[in-house]
Amino acid sequence: MSKKSYFDKNNEYLINWKSVILLKKYMTRFGDIKPRRFTGNSVSQQKKVRKAIIRARELGIIEYIK
């Protein structure tokens, strides 16, 4: 059973390093990035989420670990 992704072609632009609340939904409580099998994202969407989380971490907006 596959999960339905939040993103589609119309709202994929929301994946951004500045949207911290959205990015935290794709992280575990320990600060790890959730895998695709839990999020339901496609490969390209998951890559964009991962890239945005890494950029936010490097800028100090999101912590690496808790």
Domain boundaries in the chain? 12-58
- Per-residue model confidence (pLDDT) at position 66: 77
pLDDT for res 59? 95
Q: What's the predicted TM-score (pTM) here?
A: 0.88
Q: What is the rounded CA–CA span in Å between residue 43 and residue 7?
A: 12
CATH number of 12-58: 4.10.640.10
Per-residue pLDDT of the chain (66 residues; tens, 9 = 90+): 567 778 887 888 889 999 999 999 999 999 999 999 999 998 999 999 999 999 999 999 999 987
